[in-house]
Amino acid sequence: MQDDAQRSLEECLEDSLDGLKKVAWIRKVAAIADEHGHFQSCGHRHFGALVEQGDTLLVTFETMQGAQANPDGGRPLGWDFVLEYGWSHLGLFSDGDTWFRDRHVYGYFDRLVDDGFFEEFETVIFYGAGPAGYAAAAFSVAAPGARVVVLQPQATLDPRVTEWDDRFTDMRRTDFTNRYGYAPDMLDAAHSAHVIYDPAETLDSMHAALFTRSNVAKHRMRFFGAALQGDLQKMGILAPLLEKVAQDTLTTHSFADMHRARRDYGGYLRNLLGTLDARDRPYLAAMLCRNVTSRMNVPRFRRRLEALEKAEAEGKVKLPPSRKDG
């Protein structure tokens, strides 16, 4: 009977939600959550959906729109971890970027705490990116001892603290000072937290600095930009990264090992070449193009290398000697 229930859960989660309108998508998620966990509306713009299976709980925060755009069937991000690792998943969803600053969301977490919900799991991981990264850090205080992974999170949008961040001025009237407010302080009870960001993104880097705590590790993804979740997914290392967090084995060195996947990732390589060209570094650009074209068939890099070599022949730039020149 248990095997039948397991197959039923897997079949439900493997169903594609691609192409569903928002209301139909919510109803589908709600039906699956009601059958295998619980579904809870949290006001007009938020809801929580639990799929319960294993003793590791992944708590993710994401927008409904982001989940619907998931290329893997338009499913919530965490369902892949239920299928692959047998984890449980609690997804918190918002209609647009709200930073989950809503009293109904506070009340939902209060009820989970009162019910001892998080205590039922051996390992709890909170995850989110950008505004959802803020929320993952802020609400992790509801589960002392949790592990937290946040990509380019905001610490707060309280203008008295981060008036230098001019990206989200429409949120400045939102209260970030009451419950679950200042995200870095909410990490004090966490077992560990990992903040991942591109240091070249100035505002993201400034927010990351506010997360400096003894239990917080920072991991830098230089030359990636401001959409790190998509990059990690395309490189195939988001799931292994969260698995290492669950096993408590994510370190600076293990992250660096996984991060080597960038050497074969077109998005990173294009950004790096663009940066070198913008900084007028033809010597380094040629080295990069030669490395890439020796390993991969990338016409853009081959054309750029040919242009650089032509410029060298005309005496305009100085390049490193190629291997064929000895």
How far apart CA 126 and CA 20 sit, in angstroms, is 27
- Residue with token string 């209609």: 95
pLDDT of 58 reads 98
**Residues 33-88 pLDDT 10s:** 999 999 999 999 999 999 999 999 999 999 999 999 988 789 999 999 999 999 99
On the question of pLDDT at 257 being above 80, the answer is: yes
Q: 87: helix, coil or strand?
A: coil
Distances (CA, A) of 196 to 12, 239, 248: 32, 15, 16
Helix pair 22-36, 2-14: axis angle to 10 deg = 170
Helical (H) or strand (E) element with 270: helix 266-278
CB 271 within 8 A of CB 224: yes
Which ranges in the chain are annotated with CATH 3.40.50? 2-263
Look at the chain and count its residues: 326
**Residues 19-34 pLDDT 10s:** 899 999 999 999 999 9
Model confidence pTM above 0.85? yes
In the chain, how many H helices and how many E strands?
Answer: 15, 8
Q: Enter the DSSP assignment of 164.
A: T
How far apart CA 152 and CA 84 sit, in angstroms, is 26
Strands (E), 29-122: 37-41, 46-51, 56-63, 88-94
On the question of pLDDT at 6 being above 60, the answer is: no
CATH 3.40.50 fits 2-263, yes or no: yes
Pairing of strands 216-220, 192-197: parallel
**Residues 227-239 pLDDT 10s:** 999 999 999 999 9
Distances (CA, A) of 200 to 221, 271, 272, 286: 9, 12, 12, 22
